[in-house]
Homo-oligomer: A and B are copies of this chain.
Amino acid sequence: MIIKVDENISQENMEKLLKRVEELNLKPHLSYGTEYTIIGLVGDTSVIDVNRVLTIEGVLDVQRVQEPYKRASRKFHPEDTIVKVGNVEIGGNNLVMMAGPCSVENEEQIMTAARIVKKYGATMLRGGVVKPRTSPYAFQGLGMEGIELMKKAKEETGLPIICEVMSISQLHEFGPHVDMIQLGARNMQNFDLLKEVGKTNIPVLLKRGLSATIEEWLMSAEYILAGGNENVVLCERGIRTYETAYRNVLDLNAVPMIKKLTHLPIIVDSAHSTGKYWMVEPLGMAGVAAGADGLMVEVHPEPDKALSDGPQSLKEDVFKHLMENVEKIANVLGKSFKAK
């Protein structure tokens, strides 16, 4: 940690500052410049609250040198983490394809969707039973009834299932029935929920918040890891920008950066980041090419009857085409994946 101090800081404040540093078991190294004095702190600074230092008069700025996360950092865990979800492995040399409808709507819909995604090589089945809806007047999901339908689809296809949970009570209600839970963008900083997830061993897909920084995202992963749950997979799903031509901008810079900073796997959701079905394939292929450990897409037997996210849902033929191309790109990268 670097502390930038005004050259005219009072002796009293300088002493206060150095005393505070000492209390934190850190060793200060001072460099006196013509305009500023710089104090370099050496030791474990990850737990320091920057604000505690910033409030001393004469302190102009505090910059971290060390990442504020530890368990999520590749520094302390150089090898890739591989998360096991049923018989599926996420991370390492594997490519995982999570596909299925945005929302579980009824038995026929989910069973048909499950058969389609299985047919072309998907490795996991997704399907929401609760939906974070901007409008209180929109379809809100089937709840536990939807979980039962997902289990039925799993029974037939053998695909592990992943469902979103939005609250602690849903975590406890749905958690024991699914193979993986998803924490949505709006809950990335629902810290009470993160802590509770940390107490379980359920594999979790942690979506990036709508305008979360990479660091905030990894800090949220740290919350879960710090609780003892190491089965964390990250999911890039687009960030909010000024651009209005599409819903979000898929941030593929995040893929190599995440690979550099952390050992956790990352998958790419090319549906929510675009909002349009014809953008899902090119951006899905781009995600795999950028090095993602998998994709999440939405498949619906009849998108124009979907109760949610119809415009970004893929029909059978579009999904088939995507899967064939994903296989080819995976081959280029030396990853094991087979569309059927």
Query: Chain A, interface size: which category?
Result: 35 or more
Interface pair B243/A249, CB less than 8 Å apart: no
Please encode chain A, from 263 to 299, with 1 for each CB lying within 8 Å of some chain B CB and 0 for all others.
Answer: 0000000000110001100110111111100000000
Interface pair B42/A40, CB less than 8 Å apart: no
Task: Give the distance to chain B from A175, nearest Cβ to Cβ, in Å.
Answer: 16
Q: How far does the alpha carbon of A30 sit from the alpha carbon of B222 in the complex, in Å?
A: 31
Q: Does A251 contact B (CB under 8 A)?
A: yes
Q: How far does the alpha carbon of A308 sit from the alpha carbon of B226 in the complex, in Å?
A: 21
Please encode chain A, from 241 to 270, with 1 for each CB lying within 8 Å of some chain B CB and 0 for all others.
Answer: 111111011111101110010000000000
Q: Which residues of B contact A187 (CB under 8 A)?
A: 190
Interface pair B134/A75, CB less than 8 Å apart: no
Q: Does A29 contact B (CB under 8 A)?
A: yes
Q: Which residues of B contact A246 (CB under 8 A)?
A: 253, 257
Q: Which residues of B contact A219 (CB under 8 A)?
A: 134-136
Interface pair A282/B310, CB less than 8 Å apart: no
Q: Does A174 contact B (CB under 8 A)?
A: no
Q: Does A142 contact B (CB under 8 A)?
A: no
Task: Give the distance to chain B from A111, nearest Cβ to Cβ, in Å.
Answer: 21
Q: Residue among A36, A43, A137 with the most chain B CB within 10 A?
A: A137
Q: Which residues of B contact A226 (CB under 8 A)?
A: 136-137
Q: How far does the alpha carbon of A29 sit from the alpha carbon of B29 in the complex, in Å?
A: 8
Tell whether A285 pairs with B290 under 8 Å between CB atoms, given A135-B222, A241-B239, A249-B253.
yes
Q: Does A11 contact B (CB under 8 A)?
A: no
Q: Which residues of B contact A27 (CB under 8 A)?
A: 31
Please encode chain A, from 215 to 230, with 1 for each CB lying within 8 Å of some chain B CB and 0 for all others.
Answer: 1100100110010000
Q: How far does the alpha carbon of A248 sit from the alpha carbon of B252 in the complex, in Å?
A: 11
- The residue that A40 contacts in the complex, of B29, B195, B260, B273, with Cβ under 8 A, is B29
Interface pair A243/B256, CB less than 8 Å apart: no
Q: How far does the alpha carbon of A309 sit from the alpha carbon of B55 in the complex, in Å?
A: 9
Q: How far does the alpha carbon of A56 sit from the alpha carbon of B306 in the complex, in Å?
A: 11
Q: Which residues of B contact A332 (CB under 8 A)?
A: 285, 325, 328-329, 332
The 10 closest A-B pairs by CB, nearest first: A55-B310, A31-B40, A29-B31, A211-B211, A289-B289, A55-B304, A286-B286, A33-B42, A286-B290, A285-B289
14 extra interface residue pairs, beta carbon distance < 8 Å, beyond A36-B66, A249-B253: A35-B75, A38-B42, A51-B308, A55-B303, A55-B306, A55-B311, A56-B304, A68-B134, A167-B167, A243-B251, A249-B249, A249-B251, A250-B252, A286-B289
Measured CB to CB, the residues of A under 8 A from B are 2, 4, 16, 27, 29-36, 38, 40-44, 46-47, 49, 51-52, 54-57, 61, 63, 65-66, 68, 75, 132-139, 166-169, 186-187, 189-192, 195, 210-211, 213-216, 219, 222-223, 226, 239-246, 248-253, 255-257, 260, 273-274, 278-279, 282-283, 285-291, 303-304, 306-311, 313, 325, 328-329, 332
Pairs across A and B, CB under 8 Å, 17 listed: A29-B30, A34-B43, A38-B40, A51-B311, A52-B306, A55-B311, A166-B191, A186-B190, A214-B243, A239-B242, A239-B243, A241-B251, A248-B253, A255-B282, A286-B287, A286-B290, A325-B332
